[in-house]
Amino acid sequence: MGKEHGLMHIETLSTNIGAEIFNADIRDKTQFDAIWEAFKEYSVLVIRNQAITPEEHLAFSRQFGQININRFFQPLENQPEISVVEKLANQRRAIGQDWHTDHSYDAAPAMGSIMHAIALPPYGGDTLFVSMASAFEALNDEKQLFLKGLSAIHSSKHVFGKQKQSKYRDDSGRTGNEELAIQDALHPVVITHPLSGRDGLYVNPTFTESVTGVSSKESKTILGALYRHCQSPNFQCRIKWKTGDVGVWDNRATWHKAENNYHGHYRLMHRITIEGCTLSGSKSLAQVP
């Protein structure tokens, strides 16, 4: 059973995370309060059928907070606040195809991301999300207590830097500014979410390098076990995109990844990232430009 907010209709996408919104118009600022409340409740939203310009995408996004100009992604022409997330028909690797949390390498990680679906393949290209609060709450009390005493290092260097690992190497020009990839941040393995107040896991397979205060072997064991646990379908939802959809997700509450299952076809998304706050117990380990 869905919820009604004026003309807007909200349906949940799964038990633990996500909702889709119908009959909304993100250009109408009187609807923003209802969208904001849904964002806080569900962490992931897909707002269907939005015929908007890049300027209207920006205006909607600014209601969430200050926009982050991404260091590494190709910007939309004449719109530096909008990143282009694109896969050409002849490209094999898709941007964001591995589980990750946007900007976890920053001491003040991005609050959220707002994606507009511009051009889609005839099949595939869904985006999957994980509720990190639900994943944490499914652990027993002993594991929860143990994890609350840990912190982990997150870094941009091995993904976007000059010494990036081979699995992230991409010579297509979709990312750049390797010299700016100097971010290292220390975050608690378990954070208290600044909006919901729920405790949730805050590590991810792409940007988290290691758990501090334990041996390298122990760190790999802890992170490996958490990554396997978090990938349970019980904690997930899926956005099946349609052209014009606007997706909104909370980076402090989720993982996500783009399914790379449409080889030979084109996919284009416009993404805006919203600045966040420093998480309790987090700190920068490097000077951030």
Would you please indicate which residues are annotated as catalytic (active-site) residues?
A: 100, 102, 256, 271
Q: Coil, strand, or helix at residue 123?
A: coil
Cα gap 188→97, rounded to integer Å: 25
For residue 208, which of 145, 282, 139 has the smallest C-alpha distance? 282
Spatial contact of 50 and 246, defined as CB atoms under 8 Å apart: yes
Residue 67 CB coordination number (10 Å): 17
Cα gap 151→105, rounded to integer Å: 13
For residue 43, which of 154, 152, 135 has the smallest C-alpha distance? 135
Q: Coil, strand, or helix at residue 198?
A: coil
User: What Cα–Cα distance (Å) separates residue 243 from each residue in 29, 51, 56, 260, 263?
Assistant: 22, 9, 16, 17, 18
What is the DSSP pairing of strand 44-47 with strand 19-22? parallel
Cα gap 273→81, rounded to integer Å: 8
What is the rounded end-to-end Cα distance, in angstroms, of the chain?
A: 47
* Residues 6 or more apart in contact with residue 195 via CB below 8 angstroms: 40, 250, 252
